[in-house]
Amino acid sequence: MLRPQRATVRRDAGLRWLEGTLRRRGFTDIAGTDEAGRGACAGPLVVAACVLPDGKRGQVPGLADSKLLSPMVREQVYDEVVARAQAWAVVVIPPAEVDRRGLHRCNVEGMRRAVLLLDPRPAYVLTDGFPVAGLPVPGLAVWKGDRVAACVAAASVLAKVTRDRIMVDLHERFPTYDFAQHKGYVTPEHAAALDTHGPCSEHRHSYVNVARVRHHGVMTAATVLDVSETA
């Protein structure tokens, strides 16, 4: 199996330096993977993989770590990534699966699944933060990879925008929790809604802050409908 020569990642060298180094070592198509929703207590975990082409087409305007972009800019960058990517894939892991299998295991498996969905298959994979076993090609875990590799930053935007759209849709089903604002992360307003109403079916019930209020029962979309009809 072809492996790259040892190289030092320069944090100040720009988003395309690492991929350029790998291409000079013989790896043509390089995928990046990242997730959104790891720190949330409601909603799915969303994992994305992306291969950007070499050259000018792969230079996505405004691309950066999704957490550094405003919602409006993220949407614009998302459209650019989808239009320019050589291949991309998104995997959505529901909260019930996160509860059943555990967050980290779902995260790693989601990255593996997203890479396997890419067509054509990449020659190398950069993962954000931690290694992913079982990939069909060599890979490298990069600390804060969404700030040093364009393909990882692109994956972070794909994952974040996809998940934010899902949370906005969930807000329509469960307006009590205001998912459209906090996207399922822990905020004082979200905590207050949990204390008052208990969790809904889209919360991660294995999380400590959710489990402690489960005595309220689980709110479903049908429950919300019944309450609104009798109000």
Has residue 4 been placed in a domain?
Answer: no
Count of structural domains within the chain: 2
Measuring CA to CA, which residue among 120, 144, 146 is closest to residue 30?
A: 120
| pTM over cut 0.75 | yes
229: pLDDT strictly greater than 70 = no
With respect to residue 3, please indicate whether it lies within any of the assigned structural domains: no
Q: Is residue 115 very low, low, confident or very high in pLDDT (cuts 50, 70, 90)? A: very high
Co-location of 127 and 181 in the same domain: no
Q: How far apart are CA 63 and CA 39, in angstroms?
A: 23
Residues 6+ apart with CB under 8 A from 51: 29, 30, 31, 32, 85, 86, 87, 88, 118, 122, 151
Q: Residue 221: which domain range?
A: 172-230
Q: Note the pLDDT of residue 101.
A: 97
**Is residue 7 in some structural domain?**
no
Count of CB atoms within 10 A of residue 53's CB? 14
- Joined tokens for residue 221: 């979309």
Whether residue 138 sits in one domain with residue 67: yes
Q: Are 111 and 185 within one domain?
A: no
Instruction: Give the CATH number for residue 152.
Output: 3.30.420.10
User: Based on the domain organization, do 29 and 43 belong to the same domain?
Assistant: yes
pLDDT at 16: 84
Q: Tell me, yes or no, whether 104 and 150 share the same domain.
A: yes
Residue 43 located in a structural domain: yes
Length of the chain: 231
Q: Clarify whether residues 97 and 199 are in a common domain.
A: no
- CA distances (Å), 211 to each of 147, 169, 171, 179, in order? 34, 24, 21, 19
pLDDT over 70 at 6, yes or no: no
pLDDT band at 8 (very low <50, low <70, confident <90, very high): very low
Of 124, 149, 169, the residue at which a domain comes to its end is: 169
Asked whether residue 163 falls in the same domain as residue 53, the answer is yes
Task: Answer whether residue 219 shows pLDDT above 80.
Answer: no
Q: Which two tokens stand for residue 36?
A: 């959104």
Q: Name the CA radius of gyration of the chain, rounded.
A: 19
Dihedral sign (CA 146, 129, 207, 222): positive
What digits encode the pLDDT tens for the residues 127-156?
Answer: 998 899 999 999 999 998 999 999 999 999
Residues 88, 113, single domain; the answer is yes
Q: Which of 218, 4, 206, 31 is nearest to 114 (CA)?
A: 31
Do 162 and 182 sit in the same domain of this protein? no
Q: How confident is the model at residue 220 (pLDDT cuts 50, 70, 90)?
A: low
Asked if 54 and 115 sit in the same domain, the reply is yes
From residue 75, alpha-carbon distances to 80, 185, 186 in Å are: 9, 20, 23
Final residue in a domain of this structure, among 124, 142, 169: 169
